Amino acid sequence: VEAIFFASPMHDIGKIGIPDAVLLKQGRLTNEETGVMRRHTVIGASILHESDSEILKAAEEVARTHHEDWDGSGYPHGLKGEEIPLSGRIVRIVDIYDALRSKRPYKNELDHKTACEIIEKEKYRYDPQIYRAFVACAENLSRLFNAFGDVNGLLNQKLYGNFPAITKQTQ
């Protein structure tokens, strides 16, 4: 559990290998751009691969598997059920919640209730035990999210707000 706690913030580290034109695109991604974006899982795993650190090994696993779906429809490997490491199954649902609640260049943030309704409609994507645990602690998760806000969004706004040339190139 401790390794997952420390490893999970690195789940999207592979996005450093995704061109800003794709990563920060204002509109919907094309099929080709979606393919490029999906490579962040493999890029992240390869960045973390050579480490002997237990936490970084867990981070490699999380980076590689946090977009795998319980029903086998995820990526990059189409793993199904318990083929997906526990760390990837946990980060999967929390990452979806965070993505739904966070403002992105291509979408506005959603409120807690709407995010949970979407997750419920797509519960086939998640380990049933992890889904039930998520539902049980969803109100606490909402309070945490409201207290700390969209940290990634704030960081992106600060970074790209200071570099308007980058923002203009990606629009």
Q: Can you give the CATH number for the domain in which 12 is found?
A: 1.10.3210.10
Average pLDDT value for residue range 65-88? 98
**pLDDT tens-digit map of 123-145:** 999 999 999 999 999 999 888 88
Q: Determine the average pLDDT of the residues in 101-120.
A: 92
Dump pLDDT digits (tens) for 87-106: 999 999 999 999 999 888 78
Pair 77, 102: CB distance under 8 Å: no
User: So what's the pLDDT on residue 168?
Assistant: 42
At 30-47, the pLDDT tens digits run 999 999 999 999 999 999
Structural domain containing residue 39: 2-170
In the chain, how many domains are there? 1
Distance between CA atoms of 10 and 26, rounded to whole angstroms? 24
pLDDT of residue 50: 87
Please tell me the pTM assigned to this model.
Answer: 0.84
> How far is Cα 17 from Cα 4, in angstroms, rounded to an integer?
23
| Long-range CB pairs of 114-122, under 8 A, 24+ apart, other chains included | 119/93, 122/96
Both tokens of 57, joined, read 């090994």
pLDDT at residue 171 in the model: 43
